[in-house]
Chains A and B, each alone.
Chain A
Amino acid sequence: MTELNINHTDTGQTLVFSGRMDADGIAKIWKPACDGISNHAGADLTLDLSGVTYFDMAGAAFVVHLDRTAREQNLKSIRTTGLNPAAASLVERLSRKDLSAPEPAPSAGRIRMFVENQGRGLAAFRDDVKNYIAFFGEICWFFSTSLLRPNRIRWGETWRVAEQAGVNALPIVALISFIVGLVMAFQSAIPMKMFGAEIYVANLIGLAMVRELGPLMTAIVLAGRSASAFAAEIGTMKINEEIDALTIMGLEPVRFLILPRVIASTLMTPLLTVFAILVGILGGAVVILSLGHPFSAYYNQVVGFVSWGDFTGGMIKCFVFGVLIAATGCIRGYQTRQGPSAVGEAATRAVVSSIILIAVFDGIFSIIYYVLDV
């Protein structure tokens, strides 16, 4: 049990400590001891530690702290008694050290901080867009030069990424598209049935899946699945200085790491989209069949209504999405900063940026197709 008694004398006071002076012990007497010392300018102070049974670094730090607090109070004299030699040497060692933390920098006013932060955010956004475009250009440059010499592309790595980001994504892409097709058909069949037009659900599903939802849903699933994986992979390599090692060896990181991913993703996204479209249309078929129409009617409606032009439009779109997803994932990974949360941050930025870009480019394509009347 740790105890503190404060004895007042004519010329000052004595703080008498007894018991265990460890972290648990001093927790109880910290405040009373500090309070005891304050407001006694010009008096004597004695710290009597003869009753202490156990003393460790926490105790030593406490004694040093009391001593320093006392000095700041302009006391007449400060004495420490009753320390055994081992404890005394510890106190001595600690009191030689500088134990002050640096003062925190003064912070500006709140309104000024707010305005400053907005400005910084805007400047960062501008730089980010600039860097992204520059990096994207670099990737395109390496891509086009590699096409002239295809043996310089790492096909083994490309194949591995294609399997990981393409083949292994098939189940989730199929599941999402099936559910989208099913739900959309079901929701639209109810009002259309009032007009006896439920067979035209086939036209709706066919057109929506081929032109819009097939590419879009696939791209969003891949943005969540592959872009984050690319960013985390490359980000970890960046933190482990592997990228620096590649650069020093004269192997361009863009050609070595990013190109295989971009090529794999660009080839796999259209393939996955074809699957997504088929499965989505099958999802719609389930609803139509359950409403009592034969499958051949549904098939004829879809094939008769959806043109090759629609299909080509969808495919061109998902090529672009594939490039965007892989490039964004790699660029965000490449921009990873230092620190433990940096990789997580890079993965988040990869997913957010690629979804934004997908949405923006989807809009751009809609306008182009409208103008071209496709």
Chain B
Amino acid sequence: MKEPIIQVKHLFAGYNGQAIMEDLTFDINKGEIFVILGGSGCGKSTVLKHMIGLVPPVSGQVLIHGKDMVAARGKERTRLLRKIGVAFQNGALFGSMTVLENIMLPLTAFTDLSDDAARMLALAKLGLVDLSRNSHRLPGELSGGMRKRAAIARAMALDPGVLFLDEPSAGLDPLTSAELDLLIKDLARTLGITFVIVTHELESILSIADNTIMLEKETRGIIATGHPRDLKANPANEYAYRFFNRNPEKEKKP
């Protein structure tokens, strides 16, 4: 079953008319765990910001459910935004609200749920990321990993079909990170949620990703597409080889 839920067409990514990534074209299928891979500063997060409609790209199209995210305005844009959830790199939790209130906010704003019901659903989402015992705390009182998990819970609040995660496992301990990987896999399998993950955590990518694109700064584009195992086995170029083997030295491919 290949059903593209997100289509990126000829996207030139960058700010103020200056493209840092050129002519990106790729499809993301429903229920897939899709990883955008690349070194620091290559523009992964920028591509993500274009995909969620936060920053308009230099040029190109991002279709979510066949609708153009870049061109959408007003009600149509709100409808599209309800179908996606985003967990930002630093959590971006609202500091003046408790964790529970953060998760309840989209639930009470967009549904007719009573406060009790919204509280239960929010606690369920927090339970999934093992944070219900900390639901009464302010984000400032949480550790970095907890904040990240709370952000993922908030992104899931409205059960969106597509979840965008920016560096979800960076700064998490190996156990928490592994559990997060399991959760992502489980949600993708059981609910058919599509995940778009920006990361450079090799271990996590190899264990969860169904499909990957690898970006490179030098070529300003995609250097490889496919399952991460294949990318590792047959590196597209020297950079990809060094990336997967954590080898900073420039050397010839064996």
Contact = CB atoms under 8 A, between A and B. Distances in A.
Task: Please determine whether chains A and B interact with each other in the same assembly.
Answer: yes
Interface string B188-203: 0111000000000000
Contacts of A338: 140
Given A57-B159, A339-B95, A99 B132 contact: yes
A26 B100 CA distance: 20
A87 B190 contact: yes
Interface string B120-143: 110111111010110110101000
Bin chain B's interface residue count. 35 or more
Contacts of A94: 124, 127-128
A22 B96 contact: no
A30 B191 contact: no
A57 B187 CA distance: 9
Contacts of A58: 121, 124, 159
A312 to B, nearest CB: 50
B28 interface: no
A28 B113 CA distance: 8
B186 interface: yes
A108 interface: no
A198 to B, nearest CB: 56
Contacts of A87: 190
A138 interface: no
B140 A339 contact: yes
Contacts of B111: 23-24, 27
B124 A30 contact: no
A23 B96 contact: no
A183 interface: no
A30 B190 CA distance: 24
Given A98-B132, A101-B100, A56 B117 contact: no
Given A28-B112, A30-B114, A65-B120, A97 B127 contact: yes
A340 B95 contact: yes
Nearest to B124: A61
A350 interface: no
A30 B189 CA distance: 27
B20 interface: no
Nearest to A340: B95
Nearest to B157: A23
A60 B124 CA distance: 9
A101 B135 contact: yes
B158 interface: yes
A340 B94 CA distance: 8
B180 interface: no
Give the most central of A23, A26, A87, A104: most B CB within 10 Å: A23
B245 to A, nearest CB: 34
Q: A interface, how many residues as a size bin?
A: 20 to 34
B64 interface: no
Nearest to A68: B120
Contact of A30 (B117, B123, B127, B156): B117
Given A102-B136, A338-B140, A339-B138, A61 B96 contact: no
B107 interface: yes
Contact of B191 (A24, A65, A90): A90
Given A57-B156, A340-B96, A341-B95, A27 B123 contact: no
Contacts of A22: 159
A65 to B, nearest CB: 5
Contact of A56 (B94, B96, B130, B191): B191
Nearest to A97: B127
A93 B186 contact: yes
14 contacts: A23-B111, A27-B112, A31-B114, A61-B121, A61-B123, A62-B120, A89-B190, A97-B127, A99-B120, A99-B132, A101-B100, A101-B123, A101-B136, A339-B95
Given A94-B124, A341-B96, 10 more contacts: A22-B159, A30-B114, A57-B156, A61-B125, A86-B189, A86-B190, A93-B186, A100-B132, A104-B136, A340-B95
Task: Return the 7 tightest CB-CB contacts between A and B, nearest first.
Answer: A340-B95, A61-B124, A97-B127, A56-B159, A27-B112, A86-B190, A30-B117
Interface of B: 94-96, 100, 107, 110-114, 116-117, 119-121, 123-128, 130, 132-133, 135-136, 138, 140, 156, 158-159, 186-187, 189-191
